Amino acid sequence: MKTAMLFFVFWNSSARRTPKGAPRARHGFSLVEVVLALGVTSMSMLGMLSLTIVGITSMREAMEQTVHTQIVQRISSEVQLTPYDSLDTTVVAKTFFFNGEAIEQTSADANTRYKVTLDRQTPSFPTSGAMPDMERSLTSVRIYVTPMVGDTPQPIARISTYVVLVPNSGEL
């Protein structure tokens, strides 16, 4: 019991004895230490915040690229399966509307996120002058994906352009 009491007296701050005139030991941090710690913490938090913003932007762009890929794949498949002679009337003349999940819609409405238009062109290659029948054997279809917003869709950003080369699989 004496040892426990001695231990308590030894660690009790009011029971400590200091020589007269000697300053008491102060516990805690100085103002300089606190300011430095806050500076280091704020700089590291600023770095983490900026990395979070970059990560969110990259994720949004990746999602948009994925939707564009799905739209182009769907349109490209439809173009490849269409008979060569009826490309202009069945596919190229149409305007397609898609929502944010690359699901086709019949018309533009509040959920419309993308408007897709097509344009048919004859491709030109360095040796195409030597091949006069190039127009009957190969065509180029450009797919324009325009981001839209709202009930009355308005273009809000840049138009993404993709090119699909379509061979004439039928008669030449």
In a domain? residue 34 = no
State the pLDDT confidence band at 9, using cuts at 50, 70 and 90. very low
Q: What is residue 145's three-state secondary structure?
A: strand
pLDDT for the residue numbered 45: 94
Measured between alpha carbons, how far is 145 from 110 in angstroms, rounded to an integer? 18
What does each C-alpha distance from 95 to 59, 75, 91 come to in angstroms? 28, 11, 9
What does each C-alpha distance from 88 to 19, 63, 81, 91, 116 come to in angstroms? 102, 31, 13, 6, 15
In a domain? residue 157 = yes
Phi, psi for residue 158 in degrees, rounded to 5: -70, 150
Q: Which 8-state DSSP code applies to residue 15?
A: G
pLDDT for the residue numbered 157: 72
The encoded tokens of residue 26 equal 């102060």
pLDDT for the residue numbered 68: 93
Helix-strand-coil split of the chain, %, nearest 5: 45, 20, 35
Q: Give 13-38 pLDDT, tens digit per residue.
A: 555 556 666 666 667 889 999 999 99
Domain housing 152: 57-125+137-172
In a domain? residue 32 = no
DSSP 74-136: HHHHHHHHS-GGGHIIIIIT-EEEE-TTS-EESS--TT--EEEEEEEE----TTGGG-TTHHH
pLDDT for the residue numbered 72: 95
In a domain? residue 12 = no
In a domain? residue 104 = yes
Number of domains in the chain: 1
In a domain? residue 167 = yes
The encoded tokens of residue 166 equal 């379509």
161 touches 143 (CB < 8 A)? yes
In a domain? residue 73 = yes
For residue 8, pLDDT beyond 70: no
In a domain? residue 143 = yes
The encoded tokens of residue 36 equal 């430095």
State the pLDDT confidence band at 82, using cuts at 50, 70 and 90. confident
